[in-house]
Amino acid sequence: MDLLIRDVTLLDGSIRHIGVTGNRISDIGPDLPTGEAIHTIDGTDMLALPGMVNAHTHAAMVLFRGYGDDMPLMQWLEERIWPAEAKLTDDDVYWGTRLACAEMIRTGTTLFNDMYWKVPNAVRAIDDAGLRATVSGGLISGGFLGDLKGEIVQLIEMYEAGEFPDRVRLSIAPHAPYTVTPEDLEWCAQLATDHDLPIQIHLSETLREVEECVEKHGVRPAFHLKRCGILDRPTTLAHGTWLDRDELAMLSAYPATVVHNPVSNLKLSCGQGREVRGWFDYATAKAEGVNVALATDGAASNTNLDMFEEMKFASLMAKHASGDPTCMPAAETVDIATRGGADGMGWTDTGRLEAGALADIVLLDLTEPTLSPMHDPASHAVYAANGGCVHTTICDGRVLMEGGEIEGYEEIRARAIEAARRVTGD
Ligand SMILES: [Zn+2]
């Protein structure tokens, strides 16, 4: 046994011992596993959770954290983000992704679903950081960003040649139905089928894109994706702010997961235009049987990557929108933020604490004032905790942080700040 976590509290309140052998949980139960452990962690006053799964992000965008907040979406993109992104080098994407990984390790995320450009640099950064991820190069039609299709084909070649580490997988990411032509959506669906890859795409984030889709294609965006073959692949659909009941009912028959991004959606006012309910309709998605996951979106629009904060916002939005305080109870929120994302991304052997699962585990420090006293661990994880309560982060059986320390953090921070200053001119 490589790692033993003794006397740790689980979400159901029980005290257990967790044994890790190689990169998997080999034991979890009331009895101490037999055999010596190379490394032992005392889990007294700790709450063990599966590592958080951030099911939609643009990791390197931490470089634009807080750069042009409180601006309208299009003005922010045109005046701030796009000009800065045009200056990004390979190294910038590497150090930006390293900083994002450091933040995720600090706040208890072990798996994330990334969409960005210059992807091989992100792969290198994720490998060096020790996290798990599915990466993708975003496709926008029109060619003004260069040969994005060529880059995607190259990525597939790298992936199939075994040049990615085991912890990193590839998906195909048409950016959104409003930035990608129907022909290019079909090209993505075919490519994903030919190479047995999942898909990640933005869907129905704002009312404007829904109205445009109906005008141009005669159907709402989810039905447009269905028509273009996207939904035939396991797909993560980021946002879903404006999905209606018919779309949610249709999606439930496909291997699709709606990835809710409450903070980003609130911050950018994506729900504007609807009088009563201007956000992702969790209650209906649940009633229709749609798999739901949770995410922060990029740090440029969130402004952090803290999944504990995201859980609280998701639950509060679901309660407020449904008028029902029992909607999205705490244990269900944790499930969405872990298993929901992992299953949606096809990583079905993480996102849960059970024997045989990948050893992706986080420990919360229950001696924190905000976590004392504790009546219900799930409630604490969702409503009381924040990412700063994470004491230990373990990914793939490796301890990436214990007691808040992350190896190499000083250099990562300095290099990322340097990159951010250069591309923003700040
Ligand atoms: Zn996004």
Q: Judge whether 404 lies within some domain.
A: yes
pLDDT band at 77 (very low <50, low <70, confident <90, very high): confident
pLDDT at 106 over 70: yes
What CATH number does residue 291 fall under? 3.20.20.140
- Give pLDDT tens digits for 286-325: 999 999 999 999 998 899 999 999 999 999 999 988 899 9
Calculate how far, in angstroms, residue 341's C-alpha sits from the geometric centre of ligand 1: 15
**Predicted confidence (pLDDT) at residue 274 exceeds the cutoff of 70:** no
Nearest CA among 245, 240, 166 for reference residue 200 = 240
Question: Which of 291, 315, 344 represents a domain boundary (last residue)?
Answer: 344
The sign one gets for the Cα dihedral 371, 372, 378, 379 is negative
For residue 394, the model assigns a pLDDT of 98
Count of domains for the chain: 2
Distance 165 CA to ligand 1 centre (A): 24
Q: What is the pLDDT of residue 73?
A: 78
Q: How far is the CA of 133 from the centre of ligand 1 (A)?
A: 15
Do 196 and 302 lie in one domain? The reply is yes
C-beta atoms surrounding 404 within 10 Å? 13
Q: How far is the CA of 199 from the centre of ligand 1 (A)?
A: 14
Whether residues 45 and 114 fall in one domain:
no
Instruction: Identify whether residues 233 and 266 lie together within a single domain.
Output: yes
**CA–CA separation, 105 and 409 (whole Å):** 11
pLDDT band at residue 277 using 50, 70 and 90 as cut-offs: low
Least confident window among 17-26, 74-83, 360-369: 74-83
Q: Which of 295, 317, 344 is the last residue of a domain?
A: 344
3-class SS of residue 255: coil
Q: Judge if 36 and 96 occupy the same domain.
A: no
Give me ligand 1 centre to Cα 221, in Å. 16
**At 276, is the pLDDT very low, low, confident or very high (cuts 50, 70, 90)?**
very low
Residue 44 in tokens: 């007294």
Domain assignment of residue 424, yes or no? no
Whether 15 is covered by a domain: the verdict is yes
Residue 163 lies in a domain: yes
pTM: 0.97
Query: CATH number for the domain including 7?
Result: 2.30.40.10
Confidence of residue 379 (pLDDT cuts 50, 70, 90): very high
In a domain, 10, yes or no: yes
**Which has the closest alpha carbon to 280: 244, 331, 327, 329?**
244
* Cα-to-centroid distance, 239 and ligand 1 (Å): 8
Average pLDDT over residues 398-412: 96
pLDDT at 167: 98
Please indicate, yes or no, if residue 420 is contained in any of the structural domains.
no
- Distance (Å, rounded) from C-alpha 219 to C-alpha 217? 6
Mean pLDDT of 372-378: 97
User: Three-state DSSP class for 210?
Assistant: helix
How far is the centre of ligand 1, averaged over its atoms, from the C-alpha of 238 (Å)? 7
Torsion of CA 247, 333, 296, 393, to 10 degrees: -140
Residue 342 has pLDDT above 90, yes or no: yes
Question: Can you tell me the mean pLDDT for 225-232?
Answer: 98
Cα 40 to middle of ligand 1, angstroms:
39
The answer on 384 and 259 residing in a single domain is: no
Q: Residue for token digits 């007294």?
A: 44
pLDDT of 347: 98
Does a structural domain hold residue 415?
A: no
What would the two tokens of residue 229 be? 């073959």
Query: Do residue 190 and residue 336 come from a single domain?
Result: yes
Q: Which tens digit of pLDDT belongs to each residue from 34-66?
A: 999 999 999 999 999 999 999 999 999 999 999
- Are 107 and 306 in contact, with CB atoms under 8 Å apart? yes
Q: Find the 202 Cα to ligand 1 centroid distance in Å.
A: 6
Are 394 and 303 members of one domain?
no
On average, the pLDDT of the chain sits at 95
Q: How far is the CA of 426 from the centre of ligand 1 (A)?
A: 24
| In the predicted structure, residue 352 carries a pLDDT above the cut 90 | yes
pLDDT higher than threshold 70 for residue 413: yes
CA of 259 to the centre of ligand 1 (A): 10
Q: Same structural domain for residues 157 and 56?
A: yes
**Is the domain of 395 the same as that of 262?**
no
User: In this structure, is residue 352 part of a structural domain?
Assistant: no
- 260 pLDDT higher than 90: yes
Q: Give the pLDDT of residue 71.
A: 87
**Model confidence band, residue 267 (pLDDT cutoffs 50, 70, 90):** confident
Distance of CA 67 from the midpoint of ligand 1 (Å): 16
> How far, in Å, from the CA of 368 to the mean position of ligand 1?
33
In angstroms, rounded to a whole number, what is the distance separating the alpha carbons of residues 319 and 299?
25
Tell me: the pLDDT tens digits for 145-155? 788 999 999 99
Would you list the DSSP string of 102-114? HHHHHTTEEEEEE
- With cut-offs at 50, 70 and 90, classify the pLDDT of residue 272: confident
Shared domain check, 246 and 205? yes
Last residue within a domain, chosen from 344, 371, 390: 344
Reported confidence tier of residue 278, pLDDT bands at 50, 70, 90: low
328 and 292 housed in the same domain: yes
250 in the same domain as 397: no
Spacing of C-alpha 411 from chain mean position: 25
Determine the structural domain holding residue 229 and report its residue range: 52-344
99-128 average pLDDT score: 98
Cα–ligand 1 centroid distance for 3 (angstroms): 36
